[in-house]
Structure 1
Amino acid sequence: MGFHPLGIDIALSDSSGTPSRLLVINHGRHKPTVEVFHVKLECGLVALTYETTLTHPSFVAPNAIAAISFDSFFLSHDHYFTNRMRWPLNTILPWLETFLLLPLGKVDLISFEALPGAGVRKVQTVARNIVCANGVAVSADGSTLAVASTARAEVLIYSKDTTTVKFITSIRVPFGVDNLAFAGDQLLAAGHPYAPELMALMKNKSSRAPSYVSAISPQSANQTQSWLTRILVGANLTTVFMSDGSFLSASSGASVDLEMRIMFVVALYGSGVAKCNYTL
């Protein structure tokens, strides 16, 4: 089958003591899947136990995943046309979708059961017509779904409740957004400020590409209001990490340990992780 992981997320255990789950998008040899693992802490070490493999015809071009419960998650698809199509369509249509900025990406809400023979229970498309839907993240209060549109260099903001997801607004950033992650009141967006250099790196014509991470936060600190309500009143966009590629090349994601106040930035192409002091 092959194991080629892309997006990952953790569904934390609930009050019943059920082990946490690690969800991993796998672009295997034959088809994309979502691999599910139990996460346990044994003798001070994290241990993963394989639980199940999720498959569905809707898993066309999965890119990023955001768990919202122990048995449901958001799944973004960056393309409609993929290189899994038959020749010559696989050499033409994905390229056209990318360079014509066709809004064919989407985000699905997936619910599943890990019991033998169960698998995916329901697939509901909650966000459509996105140009290269990439990273997805849900605010801590559950009010907001954020989706990265890489080719548009913007973060799409959706309202989220128990039954509906609705587009509200978008926030421009000075780079092609790759992945998103909430860190307290801030939404971290990491990506690529100069596409030609990234393409050169991908084709081994360059040894590095620049990196960029921004933090999007509400101007209001009134915690009695939802994150969505406050971000609509006013948003701050702050640069928290930049590199010409010599320190960290082609940043693809950032996350923060709020207790230790440390930010980790990972590279799309590279062997290292940047560890930085982080001030909220």
Structure 2
Amino acid sequence: MRWLGLGTVVLGVFIWRSGRVAKHTTLTKSAFPLGYYASGDFASSCSPIAPVDDPAFNDLKYCEDETFWDVLTTQGDLQTRHLILSCDSNRKAWNTVMGPLRDPKPRGSLWLKTLGEEDAAPTRILFQNYPEGHDFHPLGLEISPSHNGNTSNLFVVNHAREHTTIEQFSVDPSKPTIALYQRTLFTPYFVSPNSVALTSPTSFYVTNDHFFTRRLAWVGKFLPMMESVLGLPLGWVAHVALMPNPLDPSGEPIFSHTVSALGIPFANGIALSPDGSTVAVASTTLGEVYFYQREPKDNTLERIGSVPMPFTPDNIAFDDSGALIVTGHPHFPSIVSVAANKTEVAPSWAVAVTPRSSVLTQRDLRSEYDSQSPISASLKAPAVVSHEVETLFQSNGTGFSTSSTALRDARTGRLYLTGLYAEKGAIVCRPS
């Protein structure tokens, strides 16, 4: 009877915390199209960013994250925009979030594509001075803009063999495919770093997606799964800053680590708004995006609301207009099967989340929204008074699989998507 009572409690917590998400992303597999792109025809508008059959790009697959790198003029105008991709062709042998932890030896890779040169293929970024025996399994990454030709700081979450670190590189816009290794950042507080959002060239927020990780002996396969399934609020956001040492300005900087927000179930992607006032965090297991008001003086965060998603959100990014692009997994069992080599593809979904132009009350809300997409977000997530949600991309996985990040270039309207286990690595969709 004791175990029956415990099971009832666990089931009750699961339904209370994750019932909507479980119903729509675990128990239900929707009939998505091969590919849907809101701003054009999928077949003619969307294509891989690298030649699929060229062996030079064999490592450009299983791409988890991506970021724009802006090179600015002295006046602050955009001169060149690059796209940097975080990929790991060894992900099915080494994944500290989903497993397995079988072989950490083959390194992941970073790739650069110069936007505006659409016929030019991506180029692999070469590391300079990177430690010989140091693993590299990249997840989240972000790079500071270059002003008037200055070098930029690139920070990459690295799920290495012993523990997860954050690698710092510097990149010169005159040699954009060379990343000069600066240092490895580590603290015991880096329990499960996932995604980063820069607050300056030398500081950033970082999410920790789990309190219990797969690295734990004996219980590493069980406890992280229970933490996810029950939607336990054990993830958090921290702020990291590198400050010059006043006693040795040319030496190693002082490392500062402070906790900014607690109680986030599976804290995954994180993004800072263009004006620096708002931070968004994806809660994967609850199927929501949390919004926080940021205090720039000390980088503290105060939660101000949330928006439910029609899928389990992965990575998020604000575009130039201030819209939040959210990407994720509409059928979680499929992505688990892909990771285990049981199936080849899993569905993809990306949406734009924008503040409403007029103030609404709950009574004014219509239950139906996102009416143009093949599978409407309104079938899986309730509308909210603060934001609108509109589908940008959908696929059953055949057109593009396991979407994890989408970036929208507001200048051109082009949408760039990466896939966590996508053989194509990344695609670009061009508006008609």
For normalisation by structure 2, the TM-score amounts to 0.58
| 2:256 corresponds to 1:122 | yes
Corresponding residue number in structure 1 for 2:367: none
Distance in 1, matches of 2:180 and 2:385, equals 44
Distance in 1, matches of 2:253 and 2:207, equals 19
Stretches of structure 2 that go unaligned for 5 or more consecutive residues are 1-133, 359-383
| 2:403 corresponds to 1:251 | yes
| 2:197 corresponds to 1:79 | no
Of 45, 55, 58, 2:189 maps to 58
Corresponding residue number in structure 2 for 1:262: 414
Corresponding residue number in structure 2 for 1:171: 307
Aligned-pair identity in percent equals 37
Distance in 2, matches of 1:55 and 1:13, equals 26
Corresponding residue number in structure 2 for 1:238: 390
Determine if contact 2:194/2:209 at 8 Å carries over to the other structure: yes
Corresponding residue number in structure 1 for 2:136: 3
| Bigger shift: residues 95-104 or 210-219 | 95-104
| 1:40 to partner: Cα distance | 1.2
Corresponding residue number in structure 1 for 2:279: 145
Distance in 1, matches of 2:273 and 2:349, equals 21
Greater strand proportion: 1
Q: Which has the larger radius of gyration?
A: 2
Corresponding residue number in structure 2 for 1:224: none
Corresponding residue number in structure 2 for 1:229: none
Corresponding residue number in structure 1 for 2:234: 104
The residue identity in structure 1 corresponding to 2:145 is: L
C-alpha RMSD of matched pairs (Å): 2.0
Determine if contact 2:170/2:179 at 8 Å carries over to the other structure: yes
Segments of 4+ moved more than 4 angstroms: 113-117
Distance in 1, matches of 2:393 and 2:215, equals 36
Give matches, 1:196-207, under 5 Å.
Answer: 196-207=333-344
Q: The residue matched to 2:394 in structure 1 has which SS?
A: strand
In structure 2, the CA distance between the partners of 1:278 and 1:167, relative to structure 1 (3 Å rule), is: farther
In structure 2, the CA distance between the partners of 1:55 and 1:257, relative to structure 1 (3 Å rule), is: same
Q: How many residue pairs were aligned? A: 266
Distance in 2, matches of 1:93 and 1:246, equals 33
For normalisation by structure 1, the TM-score amounts to 0.89
Q: The residue matched to 1:41 in structure 2 has which SS?
A: coil
The residue identity in structure 2 corresponding to 1:265 is: L
In structure 2, the CA distance between the partners of 1:193 and 1:111, relative to structure 1 (3 Å rule), is: same
The residue identity in structure 1 corresponding to 2:144 is: A
Determine if contact 1:34/1:53 at 8 Å carries over to the other structure: yes
| 1:51 to partner: Cα distance | 1.2
Determine if contact 2:283/2:313 at 8 Å carries over to the other structure: yes
Per chain length, whose mean CA-contact separation is higher, i.e. which structure has more relative contact order (CA < 8 Å, sep 6+)?
A: 2
Distance in 1, matches of 2:146 and 2:258, equals 24
Distance in 2, matches of 1:161 and 1:97, equals 30
Of 198, 210, 213, 2:350 maps to 213
Determine if contact 1:180/1:187 at 8 Å carries over to the other structure: yes
Q: The residue matched to 1:264 in structure 2 has which SS?
A: strand
Distance in 2, matches of 1:160 and 1:278, equals 34
In structure 2, the CA distance between the partners of 1:203 and 1:194, relative to structure 1 (3 Å rule), is: same
| 1:14 to partner: Cα distance | 5.1
Stretches of structure 1 that go unaligned for 5 or more consecutive residues are 222-231
Distance in 2, matches of 1:120 and 1:96, equals 37
Determine if contact 2:146/2:173 at 8 Å carries over to the other structure: no
Give matches, 1:154-169, under 5 Å.
Answer: 154-162=288-296, 163=298, 164-169=300-305
